[in-house]
Structure 1
Amino acid sequence: MGRVTDASAAAAASVPPVAPRRTHVRTHHGDAVDDPYEWLRAKDDTEVVAHLEAENRYTESRTAHLAPVQERIFEEIKGRVLETDLSVPTRRGAWWYYARTEEGKQYGIQCRAPIGSPDDWTPPALEPGEPVVGEQILLDGNLEADGQEFFSLGTFEVSTDGRLLLYGVDVEGDERYTLRVRDLDTDETLPDVIEGTFAGATLSPDGRHIVYTTVDDAWRPDTVWLHEIGADAASDRRLFHEPDERFWVDAGFTRSDRFLVIGLGSSITSEEWLVPADDLTAQPRVVWPRREGVEYDSSHAVVDGEDVLYVLHNDGALDFELVRVAASDPAGPRTAVLPHEPGRRLLGVSTFRDWAVVGYRRDGLARLGVLDYATAAVDELAFDEPLYSVGTAGNPEWAPPLVRLGYGSFVTPSTVYDYDVATRTLALRKQQPVLGGYDPGDYAQRRLWVTATDGVQVPVSLVWKRSFGEPGAAPRPVHLYGYGSYEATIDPGFSVPRLSLLDRGVVFAIAHVRGGGEMGRQWYEDGKLLHKRNTFTDFVDVARHLVDAGYTRPEHLVAEGGSAGGLLMGAIANLAPELFAGVLADVPFVDALTTILDPSLPLTVIEWDEWGDPLHDAGVYAYMKSYTPYENVREGVRYPRILAVTSFNDTRVLYVEPAKWVARLREVGADALLRCEMVAGHGGVSGRYSAWRERAFELAWLLDVLGDGVPSGAEADA
């Protein structure tokens, strides 16, 4: 009887689940729309859960033949990673802080070791697997995660005096964290427990208080709280509350420990409030009162004995400018430090005691420069690769002689440098080990410029393995990635899993479409609100160029994007299904209109600045309806193969969006699969081995879609 049951179950799993159509009429601006799959939104409904589980069984059945390839890729990823490893130590106070991993363990271990002397700024050269003199384990994620299906460490901060550890843990994937405090002298966990906090929390410089944020019903961080360590959390003091649903709130201390900064931000407007760090109950004082469309952020410094704020803003400066104001009178006179320069998008300033580091973009690449307080001159750091990514990382000290940098490219593994400001030299501290004989010289990268339909030049970044020949010499399989929202940049960076595609002859490409930030603020403005379609047509134009110029063929071209990039994937599948063999959509925002119409859903009101307000504006409603993937699934076309990956506990893009989309695609005969992680959040599964296995599954699916497009002899399993 068991065999019959197993056979029946297997047969059922081989048939795509059919979601029942149920009338649900949505009416806005005189437009009545029947949304027959909206019932899938009822997360607590057992029928909904059963449907998602049936989708998972179907996907498992349809992809069972990929198991050998998936396992091979997983072993390749695992074989390239030094499983027992350590990060480069970062100095704070009297300690070097670092994280390490151990072979076979899912999560990192947070540690510290004492500095040798107050003048010691060279991090100790730690060897994997070797004991560290004086090591103290602060938090072992493997122990904290024991018995949990999901584990994410949010806040992790040690007090200035090194005595207390504040940490936050999420065990559901819903990005609600529980804060706890540990006495590092006694290894005792203190009674303080604060439930339901947002990710960001911090200790006051004197170690007596915790500053944290909580969210409203729409998952918007809206309130800043002050908790006295040792007191009942029920008595916590509310420091700040923001009622405007368009604004997120966060809080943190300046590097100088002089001020607590409470920051508010929407997509287009920001505001900051200062509280003296030595009197956290004082009334917050605004830096600049908010003005619609003006964004700014400030950083404290001391110049010629005066407390000043370096303020980066876009008031009359599209690509931002940097000014200096007195901290005692921020609304007073402004001294221009870096005036607005079109084409140089200023991104941020990190102030230290003696100088500042400025981040900016020019010609589509990230740049870093050291700012001299006295002269306002910027000394730009030079890197010799044509494509790369760079940024500051791990610089908690106020008066260091060095700046810690993170660097990488498509071919250069993630690299940590310390830049000596006085001598203008870079010291290599560590480069990510890549086992298995990796040689960066075996791979090449370059940038293309593709002319979009309206004449705009769209940058495209490529990486490939040299032994398979130059891209464009003959059609090759291409994996094309895109995002294009929120002014986010997708810079060329190294990926161990990607090597499993490159080593099989696949060319990886990023289409830096409008809506992202790669080419400055105007690039973003031209891909949002009523210009959003440029994001989609740019990607299609890039794909069409890659086909027309002989880089690939449609049957050998796969596309991928996640979250807002998943919206891009759904849109291009509707716009140009003939150009792609497959589309991988991770946590895809494919039912955007339904979501943005409902202000009770997480983040909706905040998102109106990015997409428009279809609830109150008929023009925005019509425009969004014209491109939202779920609303525009087409009859009578042959869709590429589609894999949608989502998470049941995702609070940013709800599982219901890809679930509805896949149901609608099946109506028109599309080969669409849905994989829903039932215990995960927006970032997917937790634990490095689980994440590698998940990525191996996705890459195996991509290779299966490419089929005979993968060069023969590259990999038998592929």
Structure 2
Amino acid sequence: MRPPKAMKKPFSIKHHQDLRRDDFYWLRDEQRSDPEVLEYLTAENQYCEHQLAPTAALQQTLYQEMTARLKPSDQSVPYFKNGYWYQQRFEPDCEFPMLVRNKQHLSAPEECLLNLNEQAEGVEYYDLAEAKVSPNQQLLAFSEDCLGRRLYQIKIKDLATGQIAEHCVDDTSGEVVWGNDSRYFYYVKKHPVTLVPYQVYRHQLGAPSSLDQLVYEEADDSFYISLHKTRSEQMIVIGAYASTTSEALYLDANNIDAQPQLFNAREKNIEYELEHFAGQFFVKTNALGKNFALIAAPEQSNHVISLPFTQWPVIVEHKSDVLLQGYELFNDFIVIEERCNGLVKLRYRHWQHQQYQCIEFNDPTYTAWLAINPEPNTSLLRFCYSSLTTPASTLEVDLTSGQQKTLKQQQVMGDFNAQDYQSERVWAVARDGVKVPVSLVYKRHLFKRHGNNPLLVYGYGAYGLSEDAMFSSDLLSLLDRGFVYAIAHVRGGEELGRQWYESGKLGNKHNSFYDFIDVTEALIKQGFGDPKRVYAMGGSAGGLLMGGVINLAPTLYHGVVAQVPFVDVLTTMLDESLPLTTGEYEEWGNPNLYQDYQRIKSYSPYDQVKAQVYPHLLVVTGLHDSQVQYWEPAKWVAKLREYKQGDTLLLLHTDLDAGHGGKSGRFKQYYDTAREYAFLLWLAEQQPLS
């Protein structure tokens, strides 16, 4: 079967006197209904299925392996809030959980708040953003997306009758915050064109959304709006966030007519997050240093609040080598989540003491995070822990005694034994001399240094998002077949603090690509993989990473999986009508500025496609993706077909029913993973190409 050949329709884009020809621009269809576009995407799907036909049995085997590792029925660790125990529970073999609660005691009769399997009936995609019980415990506000565009509809359920109210709120970000009298809630509306969350409305129960009150509108489209209720539950915070600047407003949660009060006016390159608890405002900010500090002042101390952040009382000092990630406030204790030398640390102290106690972790590479702790009047802290060899675990520590216990560890069905696997943390020296951390895992008895193990390198490297080393049960299907799996913590993430992020964005973006390539070469040199069987994978901004890497080092990798890849960077960043564009200027640059334009063009994968041999490539996307529009990977594949040399595979699979996250559902999501892993395993076995 011959590969599809997209029709070439010349289209010119001129900017800064630079004329670019885009023969495949026509693949962009905002409505996702153009018969010619859908015909092409369907043809690519058919070609992909045909080329991967030899892996059909393997895909099924992998899917069965992955789903068999999941407990047929499962439930989360229950937590207590306002007189009820809450948890999620999966019925045997169901795709979605039930949200349930028990009054006062877990032995009390169970009440089903929402059965997501019923909500998802009749739709190909389903995602629940939030489900919030009203303060009076009688109503449930929940937000759901049945298309994959991340446009959520908010509905209200009467918990006494089980009835869902007639009036819904459409096109929201999914965030819901109740007023304290349970008669109204706040939500964030998304812009109809750009999909940027930009308006805050107050909705009164029983009234149509057309009568909702506009509380706040963000005029700058580079800022996104979010909502949360403070730890004290007395205030509602409107957060306005750009990449490097933020601002907060707050409302009285007890006043149905409350108007937002500006807390501290936005100042370029100053970020802060607002919290309120026990009569104090708490602010996490970079005003005292780029790795953030925590400051606080009494609510009524207007003379302090009016001062610059640099003059506030400091709770957690800024450190040049430690990134403050988060914190949790209790009546008697404060808990700090920070990142040091690439690894997460948790420490805590009593408010009356200065000395912190640390929670110790022993794996060479791991991650930890604060769990749901809704009740501040306790000495029990819940946190989660996972490593490449340790399934996700929920633990509890008594902050008074320091005693720990495991409440739950993700159960891996079958013959899984953590002792069969080995994780390592190594450092690779990049071409400019910077040391890049790498997390590795492999099966002990299948690994031989300088042997013939296939090596899969994964990366992301953008937005300051750290790619942590977490357990993945589906990854066992590769490890059990001899693969070594590596996470390259390249610059652009925040693993080594804010500087690590800044060293991989804007004018430093090339460092992300070079780091990934240099890590791969270092791992090969150290004997972690067969040079002829090296693979790479990344999604979204990590898909951009894949596109940049294969342009720069096309023969280093035998195969690459690019998931929902952001590859048409320059054209997208020039189009302010697209979702997330203007808010991304501080990440990639503003191409309306000549210098930024040239810089983005120099690495934009679509613009840098050239006549050369490329590795085997599987590209996956979703038709309804609102983060990375489907036409970016579609155009990229069409252009690669025009330029690539040799007989390597070039495959595009578009999920016509999903968005950025792929298939929804506890089990269905593994169809996508099985396809990608089968592609890699097939290549690793050196199967002849058809």
Shorter-chain-normalised TM-score: which range? over 0.9
Task: Please give the alpha-carbon distance, in whole angstroms, between the structure 2 residues aligned to 1:587 and 1:180.
Answer: 30
Out of 258, 263, 266, which is 2:234 matched to? 258
Asked if 1:626 is matched to 2:626, the reply is no
Aligned to 1:111: 100
3-state SS, counterpart of residue 705 of structure 1 = helix
TM-score by length of 2: 0.96
Matches within 5 A, 1:455-466: 455-466=433-444
1:351 is displaced (CA, Å) by 2.0
Task: Please give the alpha-carbon distance, in whole angstroms, between the structure 2 residues aligned to 1:286 and 1:134.
Answer: 45
Task: Please give the alpha-carbon distance, in whole angstroms, between the structure 1 residues aligned to 2:373 and 2:476.
Answer: 31
Matches within 5 A, 1:306-705: 307-328=279-300, 329=302, 330-332=305-307, 333-470=311-448, 472-615=449-592, 617-635=593-611, 637-669=612-644, 671-705=649-683
1:458 is displaced (CA, Å) by 0.3
1:325 is displaced (CA, Å) by 2.1
Aligned to 1:94: 83
3-state SS, counterpart of residue 632 of structure 1 = coil
* Stretches of structure 1 lacking an aligned partner (at least 5 in a row): 1-13, 117-123, 125-131, 710-718
3-state SS, counterpart of residue 427 of structure 2 = strand
3-state SS, counterpart of residue 199 of structure 1 = strand
Letter aligned with residue 339 of structure 1: E
Offset from partner CA, 1:194-230 (integer Å, 9 cap, x none):
1221121122233221110011121100001111112
1:629 is displaced (CA, Å) by 0.5
CA contact (8 A) 1:647 1:677 kept: yes
Matches within 5 A, 1:257-276: 257-276=233-252
Asked if 1:279 is matched to 2:255, the reply is yes
3-state SS, counterpart of residue 451 of structure 2 = coil
3-state SS, counterpart of residue 57 of structure 2 = helix
Q: Mean Cα displacement is larger for which, 328-337 or 252-261?
A: 328-337
Letter aligned with residue 16 of structure 1: P
Task: Please give the alpha-carbon distance, in whole angstroms, between the structure 2 residues aligned to 1:541 and 1:401.
Answer: 46
1:686 is displaced (CA, Å) by 1.1
Per the alignment, do residues 572 and 619 of structure 1 end up closer, same or farther by CA in structure 2, a change over 3 Å counting? same
Aligned to 1:121: none
Q: Mean Cα displacement is larger for which, 504-513 or 332-341?
A: 332-341
Offset from partner CA, 1:601-638 (integer Å, 9 cap, x none):
111000001000012x1111111111011111121x22
CA contact (8 A) 1:295 1:315 kept: yes
1:376 is displaced (CA, Å) by 4.7
Task: Please give the alpha-carbon distance, in whole angstroms, between the structure 2 residues aligned to 1:375 and 1:313.
Answer: 23
Q: Mean Cα displacement is larger for which, 502-511 or 137-146?
A: 137-146
Out of 219, 222, 242, which is 2:195 matched to? 219
1:158 is displaced (CA, Å) by 1.1
3-state SS, counterpart of residue 122 of structure 2 = coil
Letter aligned with residue 12 of structure 2: V
Offset from partner CA, 1:266-297 (integer Å, 9 cap, x none):
11000011111112423322222110000111
Task: Please give the alpha-carbon distance, in whole angstroms, between the structure 2 residues aligned to 1:282 and 1:206.
Answer: 13
* Stretches of structure 2 lacking an aligned partner (at least 5 in a row): none
Out of 229, 239, 258, which is 2:215 matched to? 239
1:331 is displaced (CA, Å) by 2.6
Letter aligned with residue 477 of structure 1: P
1:406 is displaced (CA, Å) by 1.2
1:316 is displaced (CA, Å) by 4.0
Q: Mean Cα displacement is larger for which, 197-206 or 459-468?
A: 197-206
Task: Please give the alpha-carbon distance, in whole angstroms, between the structure 2 residues aligned to 1:660 and 1:327.
Answer: 54
Per the alignment, do residues 700 and 287 of structure 1 end up closer, same or farther by CA in structure 2, a change over 3 Å counting? same
Task: Please give the alpha-carbon distance, in whole angstroms, between the structure 1 residues aligned to 2:652 and 2:507.
Answer: 30
Task: Please give the alpha-carbon distance, in whole angstroms, between the structure 2 residues aligned to 1:627 and 1:321.
Answer: 35
Q: Mean Cα displacement is larger for which, 316-325 or 586-595?
A: 316-325
Q: How many residues align?
A: 675
CA contact (8 A) 2:503 2:511 kept: yes
Aligned to 2:43: 54
CA contact (8 A) 2:484 2:529 kept: no
Aligned to 2:74: 85
Task: Please give the alpha-carbon distance, in whole angstroms, between the structure 2 residues aligned to 1:285 and 1:611.
Answer: 32
1:355 is displaced (CA, Å) by 2.2
Task: Please give the alpha-carbon distance, in whole angstroms, between the structure 2 residues aligned to 1:110 and 1:674.
Answer: 37
Task: Please give the alpha-carbon distance, in whole angstroms, between the structure 2 residues aligned to 1:352 and 1:358.
Answer: 12
Out of 116, 126, 137, which is 1:162 matched to? 137
Task: Please give the alpha-carbon distance, in whole angstroms, between the structure 2 residues aligned to 1:672 and 1:492.
Answer: 30
CA contact (8 A) 1:299 1:351 kept: no
3-state SS, counterpart of residue 188 of structure 1 = coil
Task: Please give the alpha-carbon distance, in whole angstroms, between the structure 2 residues aligned to 1:660 and 1:708.
Answer: 29
RMSD over aligned CA atoms reads: 1.4
3-state SS, counterpart of residue 468 of structure 2 = coil
Aligned to 2:147: 172
1:473 is displaced (CA, Å) by 4.0
1:133 is displaced (CA, Å) by 4.7
Per the alignment, do residues 160 and 419 of structure 1 end up closer, same or farther by CA in structure 2, a change over 3 Å counting? farther
CA contact (8 A) 1:554 1:578 kept: no
Letter aligned with residue 397 of structure 2: Y
Aligned to 1:205: 180
CA contact (8 A) 1:484 1:527 kept: yes
Task: Please give the alpha-carbon distance, in whole angstroms, between the structure 1 residues aligned to 2:524 and 2:606.
Answer: 27
CA contact (8 A) 2:380 2:398 kept: yes
CA contact (8 A) 2:447 2:453 kept: no
CA contact (8 A) 2:392 2:471 kept: yes
Aligned to 1:7: none
1:371 is displaced (CA, Å) by 4.1
Task: Please give the alpha-carbon distance, in whole angstroms, between the structure 1 residues aligned to 2:58 and 2:368.
Answer: 34
3-state SS, counterpart of residue 154 of structure 2 = strand
Out of 36, 44, 50, which is 2:33 matched to? 44
Q: Mean Cα displacement is larger for which, 307-316 or 691-700?
A: 307-316
Task: Please give the alpha-carbon distance, in whole angstroms, between the structure 1 residues aligned to 2:213 and 2:377.
Answer: 32
3-state SS, counterpart of residue 461 of structure 2 = coil
3-state SS, counterpart of residue 679 of structure 1 = coil
Task: Please give the alpha-carbon distance, in whole angstroms, between the structure 2 residues aligned to 1:273 and 1:322.
Answer: 18
Offset from partner CA, 1:542-564 (integer Å, 9 cap, x none):
11112223322332111000000
Letter aligned with residue 388 of structure 2: F
Q: Mean Cα displacement is larger for which, 684-693 or 51-60?
A: 684-693
1:187 is displaced (CA, Å) by 1.7
Task: Please give the alpha-carbon distance, in whole angstroms, between the structure 2 residues aligned to 1:331 and 1:348.
Answer: 24
Task: Please give the alpha-carbon distance, in whole angstroms, between the structure 1 residues aligned to 2:181 and 2:384.
Answer: 30
CA contact (8 A) 1:299 1:349 kept: no
